[in-house]
Structure 1
Amino acid sequence: MTGFVVLAVYIGIFVGSAFVVTRLIGGGIRDYTALKTVTFGDESAVRPNRAAGIISILTLFLLWGMFTGSAWLPGFLHAPAPYAGQTSFEYTVEANGQTDTAEVTVLVHNREENPDPIEVEPGEGMAKNDSITVAQYRSQLVQFDRNDDVSKSDGATVVAINGTRVTPGDRVEIPGGSVTISDKGTPNFEPDNGWQMEPLYLPSPEAVVERTFTVLDEGFRGTSLLGHLAWSLFRVVAGFICGAIVGIPLGYAMGLSNWFRGWFDPIVEFMRPVPPLALIPLVIIWAGIGETGKIILLFLAALWIMAIAARSGVSGVKISKVHAAYSLGASKWQIMRYVIIPNSLPEIFTGARVAMGVCWGTVVAAELVAAEKGAGMMIMVASKFQNTDIVILGIILIGIIGFGIDMLMRAVERFLVPWKGKG
């Protein structure tokens, strides 16, 4: 239910923001239908809307804060919180042809608290009043016969909750939660969870920030946070560079030679859909569990992508440009230097960005192989101890670094390949 609510809020913010920015402020949506034919093939004709990018990021943080009850947001923006406080329900017991009703007082408390049960008067009759405590997001069986005159072994059976007839499996809603009758006839109270996520599954933004400063100050498992990130970055860059050094020449050879294309194409196309994670056992057998094995895994993750990108770049060079160079007396090396390489660079840079993303996604799995340092190791160790805030921290940092590398590669591409998308 919470997932549908989050999706609905996200769609609502997207539609509302698009209407405000493009219709009321920006003067209309500008897409390919509004572009002149002469500029349609130019990539620079369509640029990201800066306002849309800012609103998109703020929306994600807004949703994160709304559905975790963040103290950084005003209370009216919070999604309905889990119930906390005191409630009660009545149960009716039937035994030996007699019935009696008693009340159970329930105290729902925060998970970090451990309050004492509420003192209640047991009352008269064979069914006695009782009380229980239950933490938010948890449930509690009500052992109704622990202080009753007649126990379940004597034939006592719960036949009604708040006057509603029940049988095993039935559920009755009460203020602050619900009561379900178990298969053995025991009432089970479950408090209302609201729409907010349990901190175990998604901690609030301020909890992640607080843990970030803690890890920066104290480190994690004997290594500083920057040290973990540096090790992950080293492995990714080393694996990517090795993959590019081998993959790009291989792709050029496949794009320029029928023999190379026929020889290597089956191998490349066979390995391309194989996920790098499937190669971990083989890499361990080949290279052990040291740094070499991790870099080999990342090398294999980048190799096939770079080879296919280079092959595609060479194959996409317009033959008219090659004929024009030949007609001007260019040699084979000059055609390679001034025609094929420049025109294949856009595809190679696109492949490089994809390969770097795949390497960052693979580094977590690579660091599963007996790594003592690295962002992936942080995530996996933290998950074992249910330190979700560290898991979120690691994911965010990997995403930020990956995004930064992608922006850097885009900048380098704009500098080295200014003709990309210009025909």
Structure 2
Amino acid sequence: MNEQLRKSIITKIISLITIIFTLILWMVSTKLKWIDPVFLPSPQSLWKTFLDLCHNGYKDSSLGLHIMQSMYRLLVALLLAFVTAVPLGIVCGMNSYILAIFEPFIEFYRPLPPLAYYTLLVLWLGIDNSSKIALLYLSAFAPLFLATLSSVKQVPKDRIHAALSLGAKRMNVLFSIIFPSCLPDIITGLRTATGVAYSTLVAAEMVAATSGIGWMVLDASKYLRSDVVFVGIFIMGGIAILLDGVIRLYQRKQFTWVGKE
């Protein structure tokens, strides 16, 4: 067994022991009532709440519908961000004059908290899914654009010049050299964009929503339904891990050299 594999196994065992210890401590603390159940429900009560949500749903909508509504808003926003931020990032990386047009606007809104401009999106686009998707889109656009832009600028110039000197057209250079060279960084940018957009999901479902896992958590908190809040948080965390895991799996399969020394 090589050193890297042994270290990986040990770290996974440590993580598993940590999770088991935390779960035992949680069960003991709630069993002995060290903490008020309103603030920290027991794992058993959360499991019962989860089963109840699976069977009866929440506020006349099934749990699956809440999850599907949230995923629809998130995935549509990510798709729109990918098909706009990546081409624009490539073009801006290749042409500093075009970058000068878009960079001030992107750098202005990028550090703003999403709720700072969400009210404007509601005024412009209404209270339905359009404003929510727009908010998630804007939160995902900037990190994806910046990752693409940075990657384009790091493509070796001699690789491009060599292709041009051999008679390649600029479109061939774009699709055969620049885009493949940038793809690992673009996927990394997509991971970041997914995390940022996912963390904005609750804010996107705050206004005039009646479905969505983020809305469910927010609505339950108004009635001190901490059990529903915790179940919603665990569901959101599980979905986030799943989404990130899919992207990481694609990275490992397609770019085996990334991260290797």
User: TM-score, structure 1 length as denominator?
Assistant: 0.57
Q: How does 1:93-132 map to 2 (within 5 A)?
A: none
Q: What is the aligned partner in structure 2 of residue 208 from structure 1?
A: 46
**Aligned partner of 1:69 among 28, 32, 43:** 28
Deviation at 1:330, TM superposition (A): 2.3
Q: Within the alignment, does 1:303 sit opposite 2:160 as a pair?
A: no
Describe the shift of the 1:297–1:54 C-alpha distance in structure 2 as closer, same or farther (beyond 3 A).
Answer: farther
CA contact (8 A) 1:239 1:295 kept: yes
Q: For residues 228 and 24 of structure 2, what CA distance do their matches in structure 1 show?
A: 17
Offset from partner CA, 1:124-168 (integer Å, 9 cap, x none): xxxxxxxxxxxxxxxxxxxxxxxxxxxxxxxxxxxxxxxxxxxxx
User: TM-score, structure 2 length as denominator?
Assistant: 0.91
Describe the shift of the 1:222–1:58 C-alpha distance in structure 2 as closer, same or farther (beyond 3 A).
Answer: farther
Q: What is the aligned partner in structure 2 of residue 55 from structure 1?
A: 14
Q: For residues 253 and 47 of structure 1, what CA distance do their matches in structure 2 show?
A: 44
**Aligned partner of 1:406 among 232, 244, 248:** 244
Q: What is the aligned partner in structure 2 of residue 230 from structure 1?
A: 68
Q: For residues 74 and 112 of structure 2, what CA distance do their matches in structure 1 show?
A: 19
CA contact (8 A) 1:243 1:306 kept: yes
Offset from partner CA, 1:188-239 (integer Å, 9 cap, x none): xxxxxxxx33211111211111110111111111111111111111110011
Task: Give the structure with the larger helix fraction.
Answer: 2
Deviation at 1:250, TM superposition (A): 1.3
Matched position secondary structure for 2:151: helix
Describe the shift of the 1:55–1:206 C-alpha distance in structure 2 as closer, same or farther (beyond 3 A).
Answer: farther
Matched position secondary structure for 1:197: coil
Q: Within the alignment, does 1:369 sit opposite 2:221 as a pair?
A: no
Deviation at 1:293, TM superposition (A): 0.9
Alignment gaps of 5+ in structure 2: none
Matched position secondary structure for 1:411: helix
Aligned residues: 261
Q: For residues 360 and 383 of structure 1, what CA distance do their matches in structure 2 show?
A: 19
Q: How does 1:190-201 map to 2 (within 5 A)?
A: 196-201=34-39
Describe the shift of the 1:420–1:328 C-alpha distance in structure 2 as closer, same or farther (beyond 3 A).
Answer: farther
Q: What is the aligned partner in structure 1 of residue 186 from structure 2?
A: 348
Describe the shift of the 1:56–1:69 C-alpha distance in structure 2 as closer, same or farther (beyond 3 A).
Answer: same
Q: Within the alignment, does 1:260 sit opposite 2:98 as a pair?
A: yes
Q: What is the aligned partner in structure 1 of residue 151 from structure 2?
A: 313
Matched position secondary structure for 1:324: helix
Deviation at 1:419, TM superposition (A): 4.4
CA contact (8 A) 1:345 1:417 kept: no
Deviation at 1:260, TM superposition (A): 0.7
Matched position secondary structure for 1:243: helix
Q: What is the aligned partner in structure 2 of residue 217 from structure 1?
A: 55
CA contact (8 A) 1:68 1:198 kept: no
Matched position secondary structure for 1:372: coil
CA contact (8 A) 1:68 1:202 kept: no
Q: How does 1:115-194 map to 2 (within 5 A)?
A: none
Describe the shift of the 1:63–1:415 C-alpha distance in structure 2 as closer, same or farther (beyond 3 A).
Answer: closer
Q: Larger C-alpha radius of gyration, 1 or 2? A: 1
CA contact (8 A) 2:29 2:35 kept: no
CA contact (8 A) 2:144 2:190 kept: yes
Q: What is the aligned partner in structure 2 of residue 130 from structure 1?
A: none
**Aligned partner of 1:397 among 215, 235, 251:** 235
Q: For residues 48 and 213 of structure 1, what CA distance do their matches in structure 2 show?
A: 38
CA contact (8 A) 1:379 1:394 kept: yes
Describe the shift of the 1:58–1:209 C-alpha distance in structure 2 as closer, same or farther (beyond 3 A).
Answer: farther
State the superposition RMSD in angstroms.
2.4
Mean Cα displacement is larger for which, 198-207 or 53-62? 53-62
Q: How does 1:72-83 map to 2 (within 5 A)?
A: 81=32
Task: Give the structure with the larger strand fraction.
Answer: 1
Offset from partner CA, 1:12-49 (integer Å, 9 cap, x none): xxxxxxxxxxxxxx997x6xxxxxxxxxxxxxxx9982
Q: For residues 47 and 310 of structure 1, what CA distance do their matches in structure 2 show?
A: 35
CA contact (8 A) 2:66 2:211 kept: yes
Describe the shift of the 1:223–1:51 C-alpha distance in structure 2 as closer, same or farther (beyond 3 A).
Answer: farther
Deviation at 1:320, TM superposition (A): 2.7
Offset from partner CA, 1:257-300 (integer Å, 9 cap, x none): 02111111111111221122222111111111111111111111
Higher relative contact order (Cα pairs below 8 Å, separated by 6+ residues): 2
Q: Within the alignment, does 1:270 sit opposite 2:229 as a pair?
A: no
